Amino acid sequence: MKKLALHWKILLGMAIGVGFGFLMSSFEGGGTIVGDWVKPFGTIFINALKLIAVPLILGSLIKGVSDLKDLSRLSAMGGRTIGLYLITTVIAVSIGLVAVNLIGPGKTISEQTRTELLSAYAGDAESKIAAAENQKNAGPLQALIDLVPENIIKASTENGNMLQVIFFAIFFGVGLILVPAEVGKPVKDFFDGFNEVILKLIDLIMLAAPYGVFALMAALVVEAPNADLFAALGMYAITVVLGLVLMIIIYITAVKVFTGKSPSFFLNGISPAQLLAFSTSSSAATLPVTMERVEEHLGVDREVSSFVLPIGATINMDGTSLYQAVAAVFIAQAFGMELSFAAQLGIVATATLASIGSAAVPGAGMVMLVIVLAQAGIPEAGLALIFAIDRPLDMCRTTVNVTGDALVSMLVAKSVGKLGEPHEQNWDDSYHHKG
């Protein structure tokens, strides 16, 4: 019998959790049983995601920056690559924020359900509100001051300080590039290995995802069993998918405007990589196919693709960033929180920077969302609202991530005169490695 794929296990865990929650709600004392004996496993799962956030940022980001090898490479092709990736990421986050504010999926939740949610997560919400009040009394440049940690060990002990960790990781990566290669090699080798270990830990954590989802959904149904909550969840999914579709439209428009290639040419060339990305939810696993399609079917020179695409698999997560923006505001809406314009600008900055350190593996986007929520002062327990449908949305946003990588490779190739006509060629076996 064929082994069931993880995303099907997660969906199954969600369905069973919902059913189990409704069943226990019909019995006197059932809610207490779920709260005492089932919900803790969901809490443990969320804690595991939080646990891995700081190591994931350090490992992925230091490796991603140090892989540039030479800062001089940023002068032409490198500078354009990083710049375009940042631009597309900011556009993605902005689209997500506009869509979620216009549609307002979390606002469809009734006041009764909202009250129950606030009651269930009162402690978490109160601590975030208190932190937000402290920020109101800060000066206009406090955010800039807070970006630079005075103690990286201290900053690493709190997910709310993740921007400081990101700053240190980038700073450290630049320093690693600037020292002589023979001096930096042991350190780089350490972080390369460290990053691989962290990715394996994420794999292990995600093995527990079906059980974590079961516990989270059962507790969610018992604590707030109103149907409008699930209707809002459907609207949330529609909002994310709508934003992702808009990103694809922007990609194909950019291809037409800046390279002169037709949308059908672009989509036909990259479609096998999109399908693989959809099925694996991993930009890293899709990378060899993405490189093959971009070179042979989109006309990008190998010199460009071998530089742009591996960096993109590490730092370019347009779909993930869009989803994080929508999810953060949706959770805030569900809890009845009004996010100011400044707070939403903070989400743009945090989601953009967090995406740079987001590993190209399934489930990493949820870890990064913890960072965005903490930075915006939104109760992290709200993850329970969205995790059940995260996997199918992960498949969609990874498709957008890979499509964005392909677009940027074409734009960079065009800018440096390395975009030619598609050609079949013998694909170097060295690229056919495990993703």
Question: Would the pLDDT of 411 be above 90?
Answer: yes
Which residue has better confidence, 299 or 382?
A: 299
Please tell me the distance from the alpha carbon of residue 9 to that of residue 14, in angstroms, as a whole number.
9
Question: Would the pLDDT of 408 be above 90?
Answer: yes
Q: pLDDT, tens digit, for every residue of 356-392?
A: 655 555 555 666 677 777 777 777 667 767 766 776 7
Q: Which segment of 203-212, 396-405, 426-435 scores lowest on mean pLDDT?
A: 426-435
pLDDT value at position 253? Answer: 95
Q: Which residues contact 237 (CB under 8 A, 6 or more apart)?
A: 389, 392, 393
Q: pLDDT, tens digit, for every residue of 113-162?
A: 666 665 655 554 454 445 444 544 555 566 567 778 888 888 887 765 66
Question: Tokens 């993703």 map to which residue?
Answer: 435
Domain boundaries, the chain: 6-431
pLDDT value at position 433? Answer: 36
DSSP string, 30-96: HHHHHHHHTHHHHHHHHHHHHHHHHHHHHHHHHHHHHTT--GGGGTTHHHHHHHHHHHHHHHHHHHH
Give the C-alpha distances (Å, rounded to integers) separating 314 from 238, 285, 301.
Answer: 27, 12, 20
Nearest Cα to Cα of residue 410 among 247, 262, 204, 278: 262
Question: Would the pLDDT of 17 be above 90?
Answer: no
Q: What is the CATH number of domain 6-431?
A: 1.10.3860
pLDDT value at position 129? Answer: 44
Average pLDDT, integer, range 308-315:
75
Rounded to 10 degrees, what is the CA torsion of 77, 78, 84, 85?
140
Q: pLDDT, tens digit, for every residue of 83-124?
A: 898 899 889 989 998 999 999 888 877 777 666 665 655 554
Q: Which residues contact 75 (CB under 8 A, 6 or more apart)?
A: none
pLDDT value at position 121? Answer: 54
Which residue has better confidence, 1 or 7?
A: 7
pLDDT value at position 403? Answer: 94
Q: pLDDT, tens digit, for every residue of 330-365?
A: 888 887 788 777 778 877 777 777 666 555 555 556
Question: How many alpha carbons lie under 13 Å from residue 399 in its C-beta half-sphere?
Answer: 20
pLDDT value at position 152? Answer: 86
Q: Which segment of 272-286, 295-309, 405-419 scores lowest on mean pLDDT?
A: 272-286
Average pLDDT, integer, range 412-434:
60
Give the C-alpha distances (Å, rounded to integers) separating 420 from 142, 162, 296, 410, 424.
Answer: 48, 42, 10, 10, 12
Q: CB atoms < 10 A from the CB of 236, how many?
A: 26
Question: Would the pLDDT of 62 be above 90?
Answer: no
Please tell me the distance from the alpha carbon of residue 427 to that of residue 312, in angstroms, as a whole number.
20
Where on the phi/psi map is residue 224: left (φ > 0), alpha (ψ -120 to 50), or beta? beta
pLDDT value at position 427? Answer: 38
pLDDT value at position 254? Answer: 94
pTM of the model: 0.65
Which residue has better confidence, 223 or 268?
A: 268
Q: Mean pLDDT in the chain?
A: 77
